[in-house]
């Protein structure tokens, strides 16, 4: 049986199947012309089940759901939970209201712990937004999603700056220790803001566990990663954690604690 896994974010839709985890990416923001080709590709796979995570584009999610119904595919948009449990791990969601946590952040946390077990993790996703989440290892197989930070991602920072100050050009230059041109000043400000956000969170995570592992993902990760590597030698770029989390939940369905 083919299970289709879908991660619908604010800019991009990533998908794969349970048997073939190689992800495909479609940038959906400001576009609708991709649906026909995408649906044709999905039809060719003849999935019987769809497991997704959606935090954006309700019209697109609705259209996809209708398409799944039209073809008799069983679908689930997986929401955050108070606790995820499978044969190897238990992850507790410490958000004040666990259901208010972004489904992508929760599913990515499950993917992160599944991919890098045995460690306290700082999971950084630099996409439309940058999210920096701490997952503390409590004991063998037992973890807590302690909480995290949300800030604009690099592209949104640039947009916010140039929307708010129209006299600034929206050109992104390169990082410089002492920028002497506007485009470099903007690039350096944005990169340093992203790096600072991660380092502050890492400091706080290190109070809970002295040796956290940083996992970095997202479409904008490549822009910032070179500037983080100097400060954090043990940095792993690990994309598609949401899809990995969905895979873990799809496999665990029936045995997980869905609260």
Ligand X SMILES: Nc1ncnc2c1ncn2[C@@H]1O[C@H](COP(=O)(O)OP(=O)(O)O)[C@@H](O)[C@H]1O
Ligand Y SMILES: CC(C)(COP(=O)(O)O)[C@@H](O)C(=O)NCCC(=O)O
Binding site for ligand Y (CB under 6 A): 9-10, 55-56, 100-102, 104-105, 125, 127-129, 131, 150
> How many angstroms separate the CA atoms of 77 and 191, rounded?
34
Query: Would the annotation count 156 as a binding residue?
Result: no
Count, residues near ligand X per rule CB under 6 A: 13
Is 78 known to sit in a ligand binding site? Answer: no
Q: Is 218 in the site for ligand X (CB under 6 A)?
A: yes
Between residue 136 and residue 155, which ones bind ligand X under the rule CB under 6 A?
Answer: 153-155
CA distance 68 to 72: 6
Contact criterion met (CB below 8 Å) for 18 and 3: yes
Using CB under 6 A as the binding rule, whether residue 220 contacts ligand X is answered as: yes
Q: Tell me how far apart the alpha carbons of residues 241 and 63 are, in angstroms, rounded to a whole number.
A: 25
The one of ligand X, ligand Y, none whose footprint includes residue 101, by CB under 5 to 8 A per kind, is ligand Y
Binding letters toward ligand X, positions 112-131, x by CB under 6 A: ---------------xx---
Shortest distance, position 129 Cβ to ligand X, whole Å: 6
The answer to whether the annotation marks 14 as part of a ligand binding site is: yes
Q: Which does 100 bind (CB under 5 to 8 A by kind): ligand Y, ligand X, none?
A: ligand Y
| One residue of 216, 219, 228, 244 binding ligand X per CB under 6 A | 219
Taking residues 158 to 197 in sequence order and writing x for each that binds ligand X by CB under 6 A, - otherwise, the string is: ----------------------------------------
Give me the active site residues, please: 104
Q: Which residue is nearest to ligand Y (CB)?
A: 102
Give the residue with the Cβ less far from ligand Y, 47 or 154. 154
In sequence order, what are the residues at sequence separation of 6 or more whose Cβ sits closer than 8 angstroms to the Cβ of residue 185?
A: 173, 179
CB of 104 to ligand Y, least distance (A): 5
Strands 121-126, 24-27: pairing is unpaired
Residue 251: CB minimum distance to ligand Y, A = 23
- The binding site for substrate comprises 95, 102-105, 182
- The binding site comprises 7-14, 95, 102-105, 128, 182
- The binding site for ATP comprises 7-14, 128
Which residues contribute to the site for ligand X (CB under 6 A)?
A: 9-12, 27, 127-128, 153-155, 218-220
């Amino acid at each position: 049986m083919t299970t289709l896994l879908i991660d619908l974010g604010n800019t991009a839709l990533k998908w794969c199947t349970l048997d073939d985890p190689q992800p495909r990416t479609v940038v959906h923001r400001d576009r609708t012309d991709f649906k026909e080709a995408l649906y044709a590709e999905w039809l060719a796979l003849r999935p019987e089940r769809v497991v997704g995570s959606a935090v954006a584009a309700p019209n697109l999610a609705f259209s996809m759901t209708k398409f799944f119904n039209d073809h008799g595919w069983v679908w689930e948009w997986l929401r955050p939970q108070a606790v995820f449990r499978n044969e190897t791990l238990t992850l507790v969601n410490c958000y004040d209201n666990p259901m208010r946590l972004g489904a992508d952040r929760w599913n990515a946390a499950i993917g992160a712990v599944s991919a890098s077990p045995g460690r306290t993790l700082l999971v950084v996703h630099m996409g439309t937004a940058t999210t920096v989440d701490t997952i503390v290892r409590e004991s063998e197989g037992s973890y807590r999603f302690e909480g995290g930070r949300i800030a604009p991602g690099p592209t949104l920072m640039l947009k916010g700056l140039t929307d708010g100050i129209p006299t600034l050009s929206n050109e992104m230059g390169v990082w410089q220790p002492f920028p002497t041109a506007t485009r470099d000043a903007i690039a350096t400000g944005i990169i340093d803001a992203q790096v600072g956000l991660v380092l502050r969170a890492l400091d706080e995570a290190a109070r809970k566990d002295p040796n956290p592992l940083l996992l970095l993902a997202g479409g904008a990760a490549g822009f910032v990663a070179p500037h983080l590597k100097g400060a954090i030698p043990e940095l792993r770029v690990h994309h598609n954690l949401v899809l990995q989390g969905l895979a873990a939940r799809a496999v665990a369905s029936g045995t997980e604690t869905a609260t």
